Amino acid sequence: MEKLEKAQAAYQGWLSRVELIEVLEEFDKRLSKLEEVQSEIELEISPKALEKYLDKADAVR
């Protein structure tokens, strides 16, 4: 039984790492998309509103 419990713990640990890696990859994708959209907004926004927008955008990063 002890051998099975050790195997179970090992597989659970592996699955947790795999899930974490997947979450981090998804986070990186979404962060990249956010940065793309923010860059597009920065090109469209008026110079007067840009500083206020950048302060708000930096709070998220």
Better-scored residue on pLDDT, 61 or 48:
48
Whether the per-residue pLDDT at 61 is higher than 80: the answer is no
Give, as one character, the DSSP assignment of residue 2: H
Note the pLDDT of residue 32. 95
pTM value is 0.62
DSSP output for 6-57: HHHHHHHHHHHHHHHHHHHHHHHHHHHHHHHHHHHHHHHS-HHHHHHHHHHH
pLDDT over threshold 80, residue 59: no
User: Domain range for residue 31?
Assistant: 2-60
What digits encode the pLDDT tens for the residues 5-58? 999 999 898 888 888 999 999 999 999 999 999 899 989 999 889 888 888 877
Domain total of the chain: 1
What one-letter code names the amino acid at 48? K
Q: Is 60 helix (H, G, I), strand (E, B) or coil?
A: helix
